[in-house]
Amino acid sequence: MPDSENTNQHFHAPLNQPRALRIGVAGPVGTGKSSILATLCRILAGELSMAVVTNDIYTDEDARFLRSAGVLPTERIRAVETGACPHTAIRDDVSANLDAVEDLEEAYGPLDLVLVESGGDNLTATFSPALADAQIFCIDVAGGGDVARKGGPGITGADLLVINKTDLAPHVEVDVAGMVADAQAVRDGLPVLALSKHDPASVTELADWVRSVLARHRAGSHVPTDPGPMAPHSHSHP
């Protein structure tokens, strides 16, 4: 087993094509990460060559959801079963995800965009820059109006924070504007998007953000940043 200083090193045969932009999507269970991926695929697949990698601990549930939704050809959706806490495969040892991403690029490239969905984790989950060029962190109004101000590396440092399922706010008595303000206060100018898949304007804003990151990636001006290491914590799994 490689030591901890080398767990994110990964060597692969060079691709004879430009490398796709890799965007990671993380957030707690049930916040709508798979729905965000499906929405982006529906909007962007007509203009971009895309693929998706999903992460679950023991299943391929998220990959099967996306395949059944028909948002991409099924062979362009790969599942990684992490066998451990979800952050392990996106932060600590990203080799399984890198293998899946690079296999998709070799099989179907040149690709413009690969979306990598983390398994559901807590508010500290972040992607290694060795895996993701940019990161979306997803929370939702049903998780409570105080979630955004609790902070954590995912909320404070991800390239884009999505406050999802805003259409549910009246039913869970959450003030979306207040939640956005709380998020902006802890994000030091980084963008915050209040999103509902039923709100075309917010969906367009999400797609435009992806397009803008892709444009900078193609121009060589986008520099991946690290939201910060996860705080020490533990999980117990059955």
Cis peptide before 110 (omega within 30 of 0): yes
CB 72 within 8 A of CB 66: yes
Q: Is 34 annotated as a binding residue?
A: yes
Rounded CA separation 167/150 (Å)? 22
Angstrom distance (rounded) from CA 15 to CA 50? 16
Annotated binding-site residue? 212: no
Cβ atoms of 19 and 133 within 8 Å: the answer is no
Q: Is 126 annotated as a binding residue?
A: no
Nearest to 153 by CA among 193, 121, 125, 185: 125
144 known ligand binder: no
DSSP classification of residue 235: -
Query: Is 165 among the annotated ligand-binding positions?
Result: no
Amino acid identity of 204? T
Is 31 annotated as a binding-site member? yes
Known binding-site residue numbers for GTP: 27-34
Known binding-site residue numbers: 27-34
